Amino acid sequence: MMSRNLQLDEQGRLRHFLSIEGLKRALLVDILDLAESFAGVTEQTVKKVPLLRGKTIVNLFFESSTRTRTTFELAAKRLSADVLNLNITVSAATKGETLLDTLRNLEAMHCDMFVVRHADSGAAHFIAEHVAPHVHVINAGDGRHAHPTQAMLDMFTIRRVKGEFAPLTVAIVGDILHSRVARSQIHALTTLGVNEVRVIGPKTLIPAEVETLGVHVFHDLRAGLQGADVVIALRLQNERMQGALLPSEHEYFQLYGLTEDKLAAAKPDAIVMHPGPINRGVEMASDVADGPRSVILQQVTHGIAVRMAVMAMAMGTVPLGEGKAA
Amino acid sequence: MRLRLFGGRVVDPANGIDAPLDLWIAGGHIAAVGAAPDGFQAEREIDVSGHIVCPGLVDLRAHLREPGAEHKATIASETAAAVSGGITTLCCPPDTDPVVDTPAVATLIQRRAQKAGLARVRPLGALTQGLKGTHLSEMGALKAAGCVGVSNARQPLSNTLVMRRAMEYAATHDLTVFLHAEDPSLRNNGCVHEGQVSTRLGLPGIPEAAETVAVARDLALIRQTGVRAHFCQLSTAEAVRMVARAQYDGLPVTADVSAHHLHLTEIDLGFFDSQCHVQPPLRTERDRDALRAALAKGTLSAICSDHQPHESDAKLRPFAETAAGLSGLETLLPLSLRMVEEGVMPLREVIARLSQQPARLLGLKAGTLGAGAAADVCVFDPEAYWELDKRTLISRGHNTPFMGWQLKGRVNWTLFKGKIVFERGAR
C-alpha cells in the first residue's frame, strides 16, 4: 500500500505535494524554475495568469496560520482559481465530525485541490490517500513532519542569492525537534546536493538519530556557524520555553540567538533566513533581522511564486520542466 | 466422540515427543499417543498425514473486547478466530469495561466463553482497583473466581510504593504479576519508537529508556518482595539483557514477546502506516534480532499474539490519533513458524513457546498431549502457503500489517476438549 510514491502519478509527474522526501532533484529544480517564471508575474501590474481558471482550491486549515494561508490564497488567485478558506478548528472538528467525513463533504462540492494544514504529523498523507482521484493535495504543514512549500521557497531564495547549491554550507539553528520546516529543509538541501547541512541546538531540541538524515550536529553555535554560507534560524514556540526543554529565553538567546557578533564566524557574505514569525531577541537580535544579511522579507515574497509553481504543477497545467506558462 | 488422528507427526514438547504417531481421543481427553488403547473403537478416523499434530496453542494475551467494546469484537467472534488459528486457550488482560477487578466480571468472561464453547478463556485480574494505581484489588476473590494472575494492563502504575505493596499482596496469594514495563513520563505522548523513523516522520517518540527504566524499577521490587513476575511483550534488546541477568541471578522472572515484534521494525511504518501503530512500538532491527535470540535461548519463554481487534474507523485517522494494536490470533502460528524457516530455533521449541511454556506461566493444565489431559489439539499443514486476506479473516478486527503476506503453515483441524471446533472447509 505504501510502496508506490503517493505524490507522483504513473508518469512520475507531481500529483500531490506532501513532503520533499522521495522527490528527485530534477523535480525540485523544475519547481524552482517554474517559480522563477512566475516571480515575473507577481511583479507586473496585472498579476494574474489564467492557468487554473475554473478550478476550485480549498485552503483547509485545521491549525491557525496567517502568513502561509495568505500566500497560498494569493498564489491561487494569481493563477485565476476560485479560493475557499476553511478554518476547521472552529467548525466541524469541534462538532465531532471525523477528518474523513469533512473530506467527503468537500469532495461532494467538486473541489479540485486541498491545501492542508494540520497539527498531526502524517495528516496530509492520510488525506491524499483517501481523496477522490481527481483531487490534488498540497501539504501546508503537518505536525512536526513536513512543510514542503516553505522549504522550496527557502531553496528559491538561496538559489537567487547564491546561485549554485553544490558549494554551500547551510546551518539550521534552534528547535529542530519540533520543526516541520527544518525536516523539509534538510531533505531539500540534501536532495539539491549542498556541500554540508548542519543543525545547531541544545540536546533537548535535537531529535534522536538526526544524523541519519544526512546532517552534522553541533551544540555550540559559533562552531556550527564556522564558514557557513546560509544561516537559518527556526522559530521557537513560546510554549517550549516552559517545562523541561529549556531553562529560559534569556539563556537561549545567550547561547543560540543570532547576533552580529556570533555571525562573524560565518562567511562574510553569509545570508540569514527565518521562516517567520520572528521572536526578536530570542532567535535573533533585531539588528540581524533588519540588517544587510537578512533575506527574511524576500522569503515571504518568494512564497507566492513558489506556491503558484507547486499548485500549477500538481494540477498538471504546465508541461514539466518548462516554464512556458509565463 | 471417540477419535483417531492417524498419519501425522506428533510434536508434544511437554512429553518430549516428536514422532509419527497416532493420537487417540475419548471422553474429551487424550486416551493415548502411539498404540491404540485396548479395545478402542474410533467413531471417526481422520487422516492427518503430512500434518503436525501438537497441543492446542496457548495465547498469553488476547484482548477479546468483551465486556465493554462489543462494537470491536466479542468473546464468541474472537474465540472462533482463535481456533481457526489453532489456539484453544486464551488469557485476556483486565482492561475491559468494567475492569476485571471484581469476581463478577471474571465470572462473566468465563461464562461467555463457555457458552461459545470453542476455547478456554481465563482472565487476568486487575492489580489495582479500576487499574487506577492507588488501591489494591481483592486478589484473593479474583483468584477464587478463576483469574490466573494479576496485572495493571497498560495503565501506568507510577506510585512505586503501591507497586511494592501490590507485589507483596500478590505474592501472599501465590499470584504471578504480569507487568507491562513502560515509564509513563518517558513515554510522554509518544506513539512510535524514538529513533530515525520518529525523527524522519516527525512523530513523537517513545525512547528505549521508557522500557528499561520500568524494567529496572520492577526488577528491584521483585528482588525485594520475592513475587513471581512476568514481563509482557518486551521490545528492546536492553530490557531483554536485564531480564536475562535477573534470571541468571535466580529471580523468579519470566518474559514473552509478541509475534509481530519478531518480524517488524520501525522501518515498516513507511509513510505513516497506521496498521504498524502498536504498543510497545516497533523498534530497531537490532532490537528485533535480540528478541529472536532471546526467544531461542529461552529468556523469552512464550510468543503471544497481543490480539487487539479494532473497527476499521479506529485506524482511519492521522497516525498519532489511531488506536494502537493489531488483530493477531490468525497469524500467531504462521509468524512463529517463520522462526523455524529462518533458522532461529527448531520446530519443537517454537511449539513449546506456543503451548507448554505459556500454559506453565498461567499455571494451567494445558499445552500437553499427555494421556489424561484435555484433548486440546492443533493440527496444521506445515508446508501450506496461504495469503492473509480480509475476506477470509475470521476475527472481527481486520487491522493487521500482515495483510497480503504469504504465510506458511496452516491449521486444518482444531480440537477443544475432544470436540472438533474447527475444520477447514467445513465452515
Q: Give the model confidence (pLDDT) of A236-289 as tens digits.
A: 987 777 678 998 889 999 999 999 999 999 999 999 999 989 999 999 999 999
Burial of A40 (0-12, 13-18, 19+ CB in 10 A): exposed
SS (H, E, C) chain B: CCEEEECCEEEEHHHCEEEECCEEEECCEEEEECCCCCCCCCCEEEECCCCEEEECEEECCECCCCCCCCCCCCHHHHHHHHHHCCEEEEEECCCCCCCCCCHHHHHHHHHHHHHHCCCEEEECEECEHHHCCCCECCHHHHHHCCCCCEECCCCCCCCHHHHHHHHHHHHHCCCCEEECCCCHHHHCCCCEECCHHHHHHCCCEECHHHHHHHHHHHHHHHHHHCCCEEECCCCCHHHHHHHHHHHHCCCCEEEEEEHHHHCCCHHHHCCCCHHHCCCCCCCCHHHHHHHHHHHHHCCCCEEECCECCCCHHHHCCCHHHCCCCECCHHHHHHHHHHHHHCCCCCHHHHHHHHCHHHHHHHCCCCCCCCCCCECCEEEEEEEEEEECCCCCCCCCCCCCCCCCCEEEEEEEEEEECCEEEEECCCC
Summarised one tens digit per residue, pLDDT across range B312-366 is: 999 999 999 999 999 999 999 999 999 999 999 999 999 999 999 999 999 999 9
ipTM: 0.92
Q: Which residues of chain A does B313 touch, with a Cβ-Cβ cutoff of 8 Å?
A: 98
**Helix (H) or strand (E) run with residue A291 in it:** none
Residues in A 202-231 with any Cβ partner in B closer than 8 A = 207-210, 212-213
Same domain, B390 and B401: yes
Q: Is the CB of A1 less than 8 angstroms away from the CB of B273?
A: yes
Same domain, B12 and B133: no
Return the pLDDT at A107: 86
Question: What would the CATH number be for the domain defined by A4-145+301-314?
Answer: 3.40.50.1370
CATH number for the domain harbouring residue B336: 3.20.20.140
Q: For the residues B132-161, what does the mean pLDDT come to?
A: 96
CATH number for the domain harbouring residue B16: 2.30.40.10
Nearest-CA distance A2 → chain B (Å): 6
Q: Which residues of chain B does A144 touch, with a Cβ-Cβ cutoff of 8 Å?
A: 202-204
Q: For the residues B53-59, what does the mean pLDDT come to?
A: 98
Q: Which of B59, B95, B218, B306 is catalytic?
A: B306
Same domain, B341 and B419: no
* Residue of A3, A146, A209 lying closest to B196 (CB–CB): A209
Q: Is the CB of B272 less than 8 angstroms away from the CB of A212?
A: no
pLDDT above 70 (res A90): no
pLDDT band, very low/low/confident/very high, at A321 (cuts 50, 70, 90): very low
Number of domains chain B contains: 2
Is B367 contained in some domain? no
Same domain, B278 and B403: no
Domain boundary among B332, B362, B392: B362
Return the pLDDT at B427: 44
Contacts of A43 (CB under 8 A, 6+ apart): none
Same domain, B185 and B320: yes
Same domain, B93 and B32: no
Return the pLDDT at A2: 42
Counting one residue from chain A and one from chain B, the pairs whose CB atoms sit within 8 A come to 77
- Weakest mean pLDDT among A60-64, A222-226, B55-59, B283-287: A60-64
Summarised one tens digit per residue, pLDDT across range A168-212 is: 999 999 999 999 999 999 999 999 999 999 999 999 999 999 999
Q: For the residues B292-321, what does the mean pLDDT come to?
A: 96
Q: For the residues A4-13, what does the mean pLDDT come to?
A: 87
Specify the pTM: 0.94
Locate the domains of chain A by residue range. Answer: 4-145+301-314, 148-295
Task: Please provide the average confidence, as pLDDT, over all residues in chain B.
Answer: 97
pLDDT band, very low/low/confident/very high, at A320 (cuts 50, 70, 90): low
Same domain, B328 and B418: no
Return the pLDDT at A315: 94
pLDDT above 70 (res A164): yes
pLDDT band, very low/low/confident/very high, at A33 (cuts 50, 70, 90): very high
Domain boundary among B362, B382, B399: B362
Q: Which residues of chain B does A123 touch, with a Cβ-Cβ cutoff of 8 Å?
A: 318
Same domain, B91 and B217: yes
Return the pLDDT at A237: 81
Common-topology check for domains A4-145+301-314 and A148-295? yes
Nearest-CA distance B178 → chain A (Å): 31
Return the pLDDT at A1: 40
Mutate to test the interface with B, among A88, A100, A125, A130 (most CBs of B within 10 A): A125
pLDDT band, very low/low/confident/very high, at A3 (cuts 50, 70, 90): very low
Same domain, B352 and B332: yes
Q: How many CB atoms lie within 10 A of CB B220?
A: 13
A99/B contact by beta carbon, under 8 A: yes
* Residue of A118, A146, A208 lying closest to B195 (CB–CB): A208
Residue B47 domain boundaries: 3-53+374-423
pLDDT above 80 (res A96): no
pLDDT above 60 (res B18): yes
Return the pLDDT at A319: 60
Is B276 contained in some domain? yes
Give the E-state strand segments of chain A in sequence order.
56-61, 82-87, 113-118, 136-142, 169-173, 196-200, 216-218, 230-233, 271-273
Summarised one tens digit per residue, pLDDT across range B217-235 is: 999 999 999 999 999 999 9
Same domain, B136 and B219: yes
Q: Is the CB of B317 less than 8 angstroms away from the CB of A99?
A: yes
Return the pLDDT at A175: 96
Same domain, B270 and B381: no
Return the pLDDT at B1: 86
Q: Is the model more confident about B90 or about A43?
A: B90
Return the pLDDT at A283: 95
What percent of chain A lies above the pLDDT cut of 70? 93
Strand pairing class (B9-12; A169-173): unpaired
Return the pLDDT at A322: 45
Residue A35: strand pairing partners: none
B341/A contact by beta carbon, under 8 A: no
Q: Is the CB of A122 less than 8 angstroms away from the CB of B207?
A: no
pLDDT above 60 (res A323): no
* Residue of A120, A183, A208 lying closest to B321 (CB–CB): A120
Nearest-CA distance A180 → chain B (Å): 7
Q: For the residues A136-150, what does the mean pLDDT come to?
A: 97
Residue among B73, B112, B119 nearest B378 (CA) = B119
* Residue of B195, B203, B318 lying closest to A118 (CB–CB): B318
A186/B contact by beta carbon, under 8 A: no
Contacts of A130 (CB under 8 A, 6+ apart): A100, A103, B316
Q: How many CB atoms lie within 10 A of CB B22?
A: 19
Q: What architecture (CATH level 2) is domain A148-295?
A: 3-Layer(aba) Sandwich (3.40)
Same domain, B336 and B384: no
Q: Which residues of chain A does B270 touch, with a Cβ-Cβ cutoff of 8 Å?
A: 2-3
Burial of B372 (0-12, 13-18, 19+ CB in 10 A): exposed
Q: Is the CB of B317 less than 8 angstroms away from the CB of A213?
A: no
- Catalytic residue list contains B306: yes
Q: Is the CB of A122 less than 8 angstroms away from the CB of B196?
A: no
Summarised one tens digit per residue, pLDDT across range B199-223 is: 999 999 999 999 999 999 999 999 9
